[in-house]
Amino acid sequence: MSTPLTTATEEGLERDEYRTPLEIFTGLNCKFDLDVASPMSGVRHVPCRYRFTKDSDGLASPWIIDKFQPFVWMNPPFGKRNGVVPWLEKFFEHGHGIGLVNALTSAGWFHDWMDGASGLLFPRGKTRFLRPDGSVAAAPVNGVVLFAAGEKARLILKNSKLDGLYLEQCHDYETG
């Protein structure tokens, strides 16, 4: 007997409002211009000047600030199955930032979208996210992957102080 898929909210959980732990940003050692999927309130560790929340709808809003292309941070709501796909589409169309999603390497969307990343960083172990009240959540089932769009983001992941496996994409098939 299989269990039907539900969203985090339907399960009575607040995972879509979980916060990325400070260690991630300490390890990246960079600043972002825009967090495109920021929690509504409470603990926020993303070092950035601007934020889109659920109310300002980062998925529907243009990722442009004062006519320039901001360097973005994206940890989208994990929500429903394939719920990250619209976020990934917009992220890679924007082409300038670092994102974080579940490292679901067997999922079709993972193969469809991560192939476009300029770099991938799989942090060692399972990242313990923070609940809205700042307390540490239980260890998740899956690990996560940080992924880069653009040269600046690629270099940040490559030089990060996070313990993990860094992989760089090589799409130059003619020169190997």
Q: Is the pLDDT of residue 52 over 90?
A: yes
Q: What is the pLDDT of residue 13?
A: 42
The string of pLDDT tens digits covering residues 98-154 is: 999 999 999 999 999 999 999 999 999 999 999 888 899 988 889 999 999 999 999
CATH 3.30.70 fits domain 18-168: no
The string of pLDDT tens digits covering residues 58-100 is: 999 999 988 899 999 999 987 777 899 999 999 999 999 999 9
Amino acid sitting at position 161? K
In the 8-state DSSP scheme, what is residue 39?
-
Residue 168: how many other CB atoms lie within 10 Å = 12
Amino acid sitting at position 56? S
Hunting for tokens 């980062």 — which residue is that? Answer: 58
The domains of the chain are located at 18-168
DSSP 114-162: HTT-SEEEEESS----B-TTSPBPPPPSS-EEEEEESHHHHHHHHT---
Give the bridge partners for 145, in sequence order. 101
